[in-house]
Amino acid sequence: MPRRQQRRPVVRKGAPKAPHEDTGALDASARRVLAAHGGDSARIEALVRDLEQLRDEADRVAFQEPSPEALREYRRTNRELVEAQRALAMVTGR
């Protein structure tokens, strides 16, 4: 009886693709930020600056003392920053 030929795994070469970004969820989160801050561009700009500082601090802590909690905190602050930046872009029309 002849042996069955085994399939070889497919290896795809090329640049890795960027992770898929769910723009619908990001826009919904940005609208919640807008609603919470009344759509005032000055307040949202201040929020973005504050969140950038928090994200930078979380990055510093995660780098100096790596842990699952530190990584979780960095990812949370980064997500909040991206949402606030999208809200600012919606307000200013960029």
pLDDT digits (tens, 9 = 90+) for 36-71: 988 888 999 999 999 999 999 999 999 999 999 999
The total domain count for the chain is: 1
Q: Which two tokens stand for residue 49?
A: 């600056």
> Which two tokens mark 20?
């898929």
Contact between 92 and 77 under an 8 Å Cβ cutoff? The reply is: no
Report if residue 58 sits inside a domain. yes
pLDDT value at position 15?
Answer: 62
pTM summary value: 0.74
Domain, as residue range, for 85: 25-92
DSSP the chain: -PPPPPPPPP---SPPPPPP--HHHHHHHHHHHHHHTTT-HHHHHHHHHHHHHHHHHHHHHHHHS--HHHHHHHHHHHHHHHHHHHHHHHHHT-
Report the C-alpha gap between 72 and 74 in whole angstroms: 5
* Within-domain flag for 18: no
Q: How confident is residue 86, by pLDDT bands cut at 50, 70 and 90?
A: very high
